[in-house]
Amino acid sequence: MTATSSEAPAAGDACQVRAVLDRVGDKWAIYAVDRLGQGPLRFSELLRGINGITARMLTVTLRGLERDGILTRTVHAAVPPRVDYELTALGETLRETIGQLVAWAGVHIGEIEASQAAYDARSCPPACPDDA
């Protein structure tokens, strides 16, 4: 991996950068940040809006993003309790970056699928005559 700045991070900094990238590069974090880009959402709205995530995994993901300053959690005194999540200014910059990554994937999906098919054709043994 190559740093985009003129200097690579120091060894201790590299570990910290890796920890941040592990969190924000997680597929659930990417989905959560993307969904929150539409504005503040309740926990239940996020849970319904992120296909395949469990309540436990969403809780863990949101806590990590809150700890990193990517989002804020606001508890409203109501019955039942209402909790809203919203991107911070830092989170908005991450959302923009995620948007660029999604756009890149959309532009290059055809090339990626062609490469995958070519790789699979080279790597996968032909089917046995008995399997046909």
What is the architecture of the domain spanning 11-120? Answer: Orthogonal Bundle (1.10)
Domain limits of the chain? 11-120
CA-only gyration radius of the chain, Å: 20
Give kind and range of the element (H or E) at residue 41.
strand 41-42
Q: Measuring CA to CA, how many Å separate 84 from each of 69, 78, 126, 130?
A: 15, 12, 53, 58
* pTM assigned to the model: 0.75
State the Cα–Cα distance between residues 91 and 80, nearest whole angstrom.
28
Residue with more model confidence, 7 or 56: 56
- Which residue, 45, 39, 92, is CA-closest to 65? 92
Tokens of 99: 């948007």
| Model confidence pLDDT, tens digit, residues 10-60 | 667 888 888 888 888 899 999 999 999 999 999 999 999 999 999 999 999
Give kind and range of the element (H or E) at residue 130.
none
| Model confidence pLDDT, tens digit, residues 57-114 | 999 999 999 999 999 999 999 888 889 999 999 999 999 999 898 899 999 999 999 9
DSSP string computed for 55-110 = HHHHHHHHHHHHHTTSEEEEEE--SS-EEEEEE-HHHHHHHHHHHHHHHHHHHHHH
